[in-house]
Structure 1
Amino acid sequence: MKLNLFKRSMIFATFFGACLCIALIVASLGTTHWVDARARRLSNTLESEGRINFGLFEGHKKLILKYGQRDYDLSIKAGTHPARRWAWCGTAAQLAVALAASGGACVLAALGSAARTRCSPRPLLVCNCATVLFTLGAIAVWLTEYFLRLQHNVMSDEDLANTWTSDQTADLGLSFWLVVAATITAFVNNVCILIAMADGRDMETIAPALEEKVNGAIMLY
């Protein structure tokens, strides 16, 4: 009974981990801080400043000059998003799959911890492994675009023509690190599931022996 309770507790703990993964992935998709960058005008560096932040689908750009400021909305619909299409599309698609896998893990964890009969935690392990795999894939795609392009330039062709630059001023924002946190959470879930699976062998050995003793006591009575 003690081992059974321990196993259920480990599986139930992954329910909260899966819920956290869902929240982190949804937050990363909905926020606009995958990259935060600063900009300056080479022809007038002392009296110019720019700030750019954007997510996978939209963002904002503010260019400040001595005589005023200009604000722009960045959007994939308008074709003004700094990242190339393969980058934001590949990242978003993999996060969508990871979100579905986390949802499946959430349901399986709830069912597995509530079931009275012994059930295999392998499907739960598969879902959490899929979450880790696809969040890592999304991270890899975005890092590739960041190191190849975004850290060097997030400005439009028009801004570049007006001598604006963001070279070496871009940083990975909070939205990106939320995905990293989701990956770590799913990995911790896998550790809990593996511990529960290792504990299952002892249960299978002890349960029949206990049942045999109980049956023997009944017959003796």
Structure 2
Amino acid sequence: MNILKRGMVFITFFGCCFAIALMAAAMSTKFWLEAEAIQRRINPDNRIEVRPNSTGHVNFGLFKGRKSLNVGFGTRLHPFDVDHAEFMDYGLWVGTVACLGLGMVFAVVGALFAVINTATTPVEAITGVPGLYLWNALAALFNLICVILWAVQFHKHLTNNVLLYDAADGWTTAGQESFGYSYWLVVVAIFVHVVNIGIIYMGTYDPKVKEQLQAPDPKGGNIMLY
């Protein structure tokens, strides 16, 4: 492998490191979901109306969250744990965390073997260029599954009301939810690994030149008859 090809392979090391940073930020931040909260009350005419002086905001990640509610006397912050939240589907939550973790593992492996392939030429396919395709593809795949699982969680369980403990006081987030930036970090990580695969292909592609069989020139030699 020449210097140019080794340089292209080494670029994927930085791509994997960037993807790892994105996934680590997504796992540690608290913005997989954001929602505005409103407080409703029943007026004297038995009609439901929104209290104009009551405002609130909810955001949470895979492990921790925070809600800030204001009923007109100042905002009060309340942290909470996500893994035991009643509004979450536990199976989908476990799958999301597990797939994100596996995506990080394969990104680390991809970064490691990118360095190895830059310094040497491994004999085994799994540790060579085919392995680079595999590790990046697996990282992108598990990140994709993670994104899909959270999207299912969002549409099935998080679009009704995530303020279950405050619902008795009229608080609701129904229809006010949206994906936070932590979620989109994983989406970006998927594209980073796809770009890595493209770089590996461009950097290591070696078209085989087919040798054409040439017919012997009848004028160039003597024909011997027996």
What band does the TM-score fall into relative to the shorter chain? 0.7 to 0.9
Listed as ranges, the gaps of 5+ residues in structure 2 are 42-49, 211-226
- 1:218 aligns with none
Verify: 1:123 aligned to 2:92, yes or no: no
Distance change (3 Å), C-alpha of 1:81 and 1:109: farther
Decide whether the 8 Å contact of 1:35 with 1:173 is kept in 2: yes
Please say if 1:40 is aligned against 2:66: no
Instruction: Output the TM-score relative to the length of structure 1.
Output: 0.83
1:71 partner SS: strand
**Structure 1 range deviating more: 43-52 or 123-132:** 43-52
Instruction: Write the distance in 2 (CA, Å) between the matches of 1:76 and 1:116.
Output: 46
Give the Å deviation of 1:80: 3.4
- Whether 1:146 aligns to 2:154 is yes
- Contact kept, 8 Å, 1:57 with 1:81, in 2: the verdict is no
User: 1:14-163 residue pairs with structure 2 within 5 A?
Assistant: 14-43=12-41, 44-76=50-82, 79-80=84-85, 82-115=87-120, 120-156=128-164, 158-163=165-170
Task: Note the residue ranges of structure 1 that are not aligned, 5 or more in a row.
Answer: 206-221
Write the letter of the residue equivalent to 2:39: R
Shift of 1:151: 2.4
Superposed CA RMSD: 2.1
Cα offset, 1:42, TM superposition:
1.2
Aligned counterparts of 2:169 and 2:122: Cα–Cα separation in 1: 69
Which residue identity is paired with 2:190? T
Deviations 1:46-92 (A, max 9, x none): 01111101000011001110134432112046x33643212221111
Instruction: Give the distance between the partners of 1:155 and 1:127, measured in 2 at CA.
Output: 40
Higher helix content, 1 or 2: 1
Q: Is the 8 A contact 1:129 1:187 kept in 2?
A: yes
Question: Could you tell me whether the CA contact under 8 Å between 2:6 and 2:118 is conserved in 1?
Answer: yes
**1-structure distance, mates of 2:82, 2:157:** 17
- Maintained 8 Å contact 2:65/2:82: no
